[in-house]
Amino acid sequence: MAYRVGNKCIVRRINDKKDVPPELDESVIGTMRINPRSYKKIWNHDMVDRTKYALAGLLYLLLRERSIGNIAKTAALVLALSLWLRIDLVHGVLIFLSFALLWTVETLNSAIEAVVDLVTQEIHPMAKVAKDVAASATLVATITASITTLIFIAPPLYEKLKPFLASP
């Protein structure tokens, strides 16, 4: 395990307390005692700044990440289909939440990929692990959203299309 204290990187082996700096509290409540302001060069002081940065990130995702665009288009299609099929409110909310989960996971995946690219431009096995694991989270969220959508949309869609599917 490695800790960064200032510009100094402390590497600690399991059960080897001598390399841990005395100011690092490893107790259960030690983490909550750390003041993040002392480690940040830029601090978002007010809600306007935080909102501005969040919107900048959202615009970046919409313009630069093809997968986010695909999720947005699919969600719009599913919303239109849900309205046409008159899906009840609870099922509609569950579909919405599954797409919100997918959007959130894809956003985190993009952030992880950006950080990995920032840290190293070389091909490194651990960079591959980080990117592949983040992508696997997106895959799981995609499968979850797909199954949720199919469960709630397929039966009413079948009923709506049954007259057109019947044999003459």
At 55, give phi and psi (nearest 5°).
-65, -35
3 and 12 Cβ atoms separated by less than 8 Å: yes
Separation of alpha carbons 138 and 151, rounded Å: 20
- HSE-CB of 51 using CA atoms within 13 angstroms: 3
| Catalytic residue status for 113 | no
Q: How far is CA 151 from CA 15, 46, 77, in A?
A: 50, 43, 16
**Given 23, 26, 65, 106, the catalytic residue:** 106
At 111, give phi and psi (nearest 5°).
-65, -40
Residue positions annotated with a catalytic role: 106
